[in-house]
Amino acid sequence: MPGSAPPAGRQSVDDVALWYHTLELPGGVVTPGWFDLRGVVRRLPWPEVRGKRCLDVGTYDGFYAFELERRGAREVVATDIARHEDWDLPAPGRSQAEAALRQLAGEKGLGFEVAREVLGSRVEKRILSVYDLSPDRVGTFDVVVCGNLMLHLRDPVRALEAIRSVCTGRFMSIEEVSLGLSIALRKRAVAELRLDPRLGQWWVPNAAGHARVVAVAGFEVIEQMGPFSEPFGAGHPPRGRGAGPLALRLARQLLAGGDGVPHAALLARPVI
C-alpha cells in the first residue's frame, strides 16, 4: 500500500502528484501507480540483458529501466520528453489536454527521480524524443525496450525506425492493442483510429498490426505474446459502473486473462 517513503533528497514519494507505475521501493513502500506491471513482467518475452547496454524509451517512472538494471544490465539509459507540452497531441483540444496533464500529473519526471534516488539506481536519464534517437546522439544498444508509446505518436513508424537505428541486438515492444480487433482479425493487420486528445491517443492496432508495424520499420519479429491485460494499479481513477463497463471487464477477463488494458508484447531483431 502507498505510504510515507524514506526521504529522497528534497522530495519524496508523497510529493509525486501521479505515479504511473507501481514500484516497490525500499522500506516496504509501494507507489500508488496507475498501472501495476508486477504480475505481467516475468511473462514478457525478455531477451538476455545481463552485461548488456540497454535502453528504455518513454520510461515515465522507470519501471522497465529499473527492471533492466535488476536483471543485470551493464548500463541502462532511460529516455523521455521534458514537458507535458512535448506529447505528440492531436491539434483539436491540444491546449486543454496539456492543461489537464499539468494539473493531474504535476512535475514531469519527478517520480523517476524520486524512485532512482531511493533505489540507489545508476540508470541514466536522457531527455530525448524517440524521433531523435540516433547512434550519434546516444550510441547503440544491445537491448531496447519500449512500452506504450506508439499509440501516443502521430508517426509510430518513424519512431520505430529511429529505435531500429540504435538497436544492434534485440527490441522488446509492449503496446496497447484493440482486444476486439485482435480476436476478430487474428491474422489481418488493422488499427483503430482513436484520435482522442484527452488521452493523447492516435492509433491502437490489433496484435497482428503491432507486429506488422514493427516489421515495416526494419525488424524481424521472433516472438509474440498476447493479448494479455496490463492490470490497473491502486492509483488508477475508478472505472465506470453499469452494464457496459461490467461487460467490458468480463470480456477482458475471458479473452485477455484479467481486468486491465489489453496489450501485446513482442521480441524482434533488426534486419535492415
Ligand X SMILES: C[S@@+](CC[C@H](N)C(=O)[O-])C[C@H]1O[C@@H](n2cnc3c(N)ncnc32)[C@H](O)[C@@H]1O
Q: Which positions touch ligand X (CB under 6 A)?
A: 20, 57-60, 63-64, 79-81, 87-88, 129-131, 147-149, 152, 174
Task: Label the pairing between strands 219-230 and 261-270.
Answer: antiparallel
In the chain, count H helices and then E strands: 8, 13
Distance CA(104)–CA(99), nearest Å, equals 9
Our CB check for ligand X shows the closer of 63 and 66 to be 63
Q: Are 38 and 24 in contact (CB under 8 A)?
A: yes
Tell whether omega for the bond before 6 is within 30 degrees of 0, i.e. cis: no
Our CB check for ligand X shows the closer of 44 and 208 to be 44
Q: How far is the CB of 149 from ligand X (least distance, A)?
A: 5
Q: How far is the CB of 71 from ligand X (least distance, A)?
A: 16
CA angle 157, 81, 142 (to 5 degrees): 60
Among 116, 167, 123, 117, CA closest to 142: 167
Q: How far is the CB of 10 from ligand X (least distance, A)?
A: 22
Q: State the cell numbers at 17.
A: 502528484
Our CB check for ligand X shows the closer of 185 and 259 to be 259
Our CB check for ligand X shows the closer of 33 and 218 to be 33
Q: How far is the CB of 244 from ligand X (least distance, A)?
A: 24
Q: Compute how many other C-beta atoms are within 10 angstroms of the C-beta atom of residue 270.
A: 18
Q: Are 166 and 41 in contact (CB under 8 A)?
A: no
Our CB check for ligand X shows the closer of 121 and 148 to be 148
Closest-by-Cβ residue to ligand X is 147
Q: State the cell numbers at 241.
A: 459502473
Q: How far is the CB of 148 from ligand X (least distance, A)?
A: 4
Distance CA(228)–CA(257), nearest Å, equals 6
Our CB check for ligand X shows the closer of 81 and 100 to be 81
